[in-house]
């Protein structure tokens, strides 16, 4: 029997339509629970068919918008993590607002699921430049795992994990491998890159991550698998935003097929499972 490598599977559970329109139009946008739930149904069914376990980093405000049965379906097999309450960049919030945001989100997610939420991921991977208060605030709020950091190299002998700066050793970082430097770093085993890159390139990137000592990780968003979603409705003149949406619509019909192919070589698990021997 073929031995599969361990790999982490994560989903950033968010309302892409509302967030993108809000970010570009700077106005309050209505939620889209029907769209998010439809996309989530597809993901959960696919994960079940593959025997995959994942961590769902959920936006806290979705607990006020999605049906209660959604959370029961997730925790029946998977792990629920936190992705902030309003999906705002950590660095733009600052320490005080960030503390309030994650406490509100963590409380909402735990109330909705009846399960302890111990893992966090920063929206937009936006915790760069926020040490040491980022780690200290996560530790204070009761988180034990973070998966917000994109790094080129791991500390020597880390085993793919390391203590998050500022957390006094109480928060374990489960990082994603990246290429590039500074703000130009790219996390290429998820999201847009997962949709656009051919399967062979993704397989090579996962193998490279293993070779460098990382626990290989794939991350997805609900919209990544939804080829039938309507385009975002930007007013005329918003060419940059329209171009971004066009790119995010490419390759959506290929994501699940790639995931199925990878499941032959990788046994997918959640973030907290990295501590299992």
Task: Give percent of the chain above pLDDT 90.
Answer: 86
The reported pLDDT for the residue numbered 156 is 81
Q: What b-and-e string marks burial along 11-26, b requiring 16 or more CB atoms within 10 Å of the CB?
A: bbbbbbbbbbbbebee
Task: Give percent of the chain above pLDDT 70.
Answer: 96
List, for residues 203-235, the tens digit of each pLDDT value: 999 999 999 999 999 999 999 999 999 999 999
List, for residues 44-53, the tens digit of each pLDDT value: 999 999 999 9
What is the enclosing helix (H) or strand (E) of 56?
strand 55-58
Mean pLDDT of 21-47: 95
List, for residues 76-113, the tens digit of each pLDDT value: 999 999 999 999 999 999 999 999 999 999 999 999 99
Mean pLDDT of 22-27: 92
List, for residues 230-251, the tens digit of each pLDDT value: 999 999 999 999 999 999 999 9
Q: Which of 175, 211, 209, 178 is nearest to 193 (CA)?
A: 178
How far apart are the C-alpha atoms of 37 and 255, rounded to whole Å? 18
Average model confidence (pLDDT) across the chain: 94
How far apart are the C-alpha atoms of 168 and 136, rounded to whole Å? 7
List, for residues 138-176, the tens digit of each pLDDT value: 999 999 999 999 988 898 878 899 999 999 999 999 999
Contact (Cβ atoms closer than 8 angstroms) between residue 176 and residue 189:
yes
What's the structural domain count of the chain? 1
Indicate the burial class of 198 (C-beta count within 10 angstroms; 0-12, 13-18, 19 or more). exposed
Q: Which of 71, 73, 171, 186 is nearest to 125 (CA)?
A: 186
pTM given for the model: 0.95
The reported pLDDT for the residue numbered 224 is 97
The band of 2, judged by pLDDT with boundaries at 50, 70 and 90, is: low
The reported pLDDT for the residue numbered 185 is 65
DSSP 202: H
The reported pLDDT for the residue numbered 157 is 79
Indicate the burial class of 170 (C-beta count within 10 angstroms; 0-12, 13-18, 19 or more). middle
Domain extent, residue 183, equals: 5-275
List, for residues 192-205, the tens digit of each pLDDT value: 999 999 999 999 99
Indicate the burial class of 92 (C-beta count within 10 angstroms; 0-12, 13-18, 19 or more). exposed
CATH number assigned to the domain comprising residue 67: 3.20.20.370
Contact (Cβ atoms closer than 8 angstroms) between residue 39 and residue 32:
no
3-class secondary-structure state, position 208: helix
User: Does the pLDDT of residue 277 top 60, yes or no?
Assistant: no
Residue 190 has phi, psi (to 5 degrees) of 180, 170
User: Does the pLDDT of residue 1 top 60, yes or no?
Assistant: no
Indicate the angle between helix axes 133-141 and 90-113, nearest 10 degrees: 10
Q: Which of 186, 255, 277, 276 is nearest to 11 (CA)?
A: 255
The band of 184, judged by pLDDT with boundaries at 50, 70 and 90, is: low
């Amino acid at each position: 029997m073929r031995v599969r490598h361990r790999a982490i599977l994560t989903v950033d559970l968010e309302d892409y339509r509302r967030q993108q329109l809000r970010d570009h139009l700077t106005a309050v946008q209505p939620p889209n629970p029907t769209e998010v739930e439809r996309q989530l149904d597809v993901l959960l069914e696919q994960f079940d068919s593959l025997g995959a376990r994942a961590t769902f980093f959920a936006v806290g405000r979705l607990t006020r918008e999605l049906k209660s049965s959604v959370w029961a379906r997730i925790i029946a097999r998977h792990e629920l993590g936190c992705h902030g309450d309003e999906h705002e960049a950590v660095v733009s919030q600052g320490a005080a607002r960030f503390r309030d945001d994650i406490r509100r989100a963590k409380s909402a997610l735990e109330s909705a699921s009846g399960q302890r939420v111990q893992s966090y991921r920063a929206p937009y991977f936006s915790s760069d430049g926020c040490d040491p208060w980022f780690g200290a605030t996560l530790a204070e709020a009761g988180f034990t795992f973070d998966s917000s950091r994109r790094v080129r190299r791991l500390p020597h002998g880390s085993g793919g994990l390391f203590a998050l700066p500022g957390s006094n050793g109480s928060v374990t970082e489960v990082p994603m491998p990246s290429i590039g430097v500074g703000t130009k770093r790219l996390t290429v085993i998820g999201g847009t890159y997962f949709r656009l890159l051919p399967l062979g390139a993704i397989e090579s990137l996962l193998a490279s991550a293993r070779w460098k000592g990382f626990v290989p990780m794939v991350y997805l968003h609900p919209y990544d698998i939804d080829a039938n979603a309507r385009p975002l409705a930007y007013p005329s003149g918003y060419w940059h935003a329209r171009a971004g949406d066009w790119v995010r619509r490419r390759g959506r019909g290929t994501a699940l097929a790639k995931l199925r192919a990878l499941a032959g070589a990788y046994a997918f698990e959640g973030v907290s499972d990295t501590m299992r021997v």
